Amino acid sequence: MGVVGRFGCTEQLIGAVVPDLRVDPETVPAPLTVLPSAALPTGEFVLDVARVDRSGRFPACGVLSVLGWEFGWRIEVDAVHGAVVIRRAASGRRAVDGRGSIPLPVAVRDLCGIAPAGEVVLAASAVLQVLVVHPAAIVARLLSEHHVRLLGGW
């Protein structure tokens, strides 16, 4: 098939450069491969609620039993994106006390917005050996946003 060019010359289109625009009805597009998610395995976290006392400790007996952590075990406590991440660490500066409570340093509480007598939501994973402490206000806000989306902006 020739095309009249700019100077009146007939030009030939090259198939490798110009795609064939004819649609073959028997051509079925190949399905896209679903890539594995980088998220944590679902159903791995056990949830609980606790109240932080005036000294910055919160009772954690329920989640400690899920984690398999015992009295005296050393832990490290870090603030990460507005939540507290607690892991076992041989050289940890804190420890699980005899009542099954975990201490939160004042600096970590301040960074995460956890007030004395404030409620927290605990998420424990035995598989990952981690306890994540969320301020209850943050969890309430996230759930509220989810419910607004769920109900169509109602």
Domains and CATH numbers, the chain: 49-148 (3.40.1550.20)
pLDDT digit string, tens, across residues 81-138: 999 999 999 999 999 999 999 999 999 999 999 988 899 999 999 999 999 999 998 8
CA 74-75-76 angle, 5° bins:
140
Give the torsion through C-alpha atoms of 37, 41, 46, 50, to 10 deg.
-40
Position 31 scores a pLDDT of 61
The distance in angstroms from the start CA to the end CA of the chain is: 59
What integer is the mean pLDDT of 57-64? 94
- Band the pLDDT of 63: cuts 50, 70, 90: very high
Strands 119-125 and 83-88: unpaired
Position 29 scores a pLDDT of 57
- Band the pLDDT of 8: cuts 50, 70, 90: low
CA distance 146 to 123: 19
- Band the pLDDT of 4: cuts 50, 70, 90: low
Position 116 scores a pLDDT of 85
* CA neighbor of 73 nearest in space, from 47, 52, 91: 91
Position 103 scores a pLDDT of 95
What integer is the mean pLDDT of 9-13? 57
* CA neighbor of 86 nearest in space, from 138, 94, 127: 94
Can you say whether residue 16 is alpha, beta or left, with left for phi > 0 and alpha for psi between -120 and 50 degrees?
Answer: alpha
Phi/psi of residue 149, nearest 5 degrees? -65, -40
* % of the chain beyond a pLDDT of 90: 56
Phi/psi of residue 148, nearest 5 degrees? -60, -45
* % of the chain beyond a pLDDT of 70: 71
CA distance 86 to 67: 11
* CA neighbor of 102 nearest in space, from 63, 129, 47: 63
Residue 18, classed as helix, strand or coil, is coil
Average pLDDT over the chain, rounded to an integer:
82
Q: Is the pLDDT of residue 41 over 80?
A: no
Position 130 scores a pLDDT of 95
CA distance 147 to 153: 8
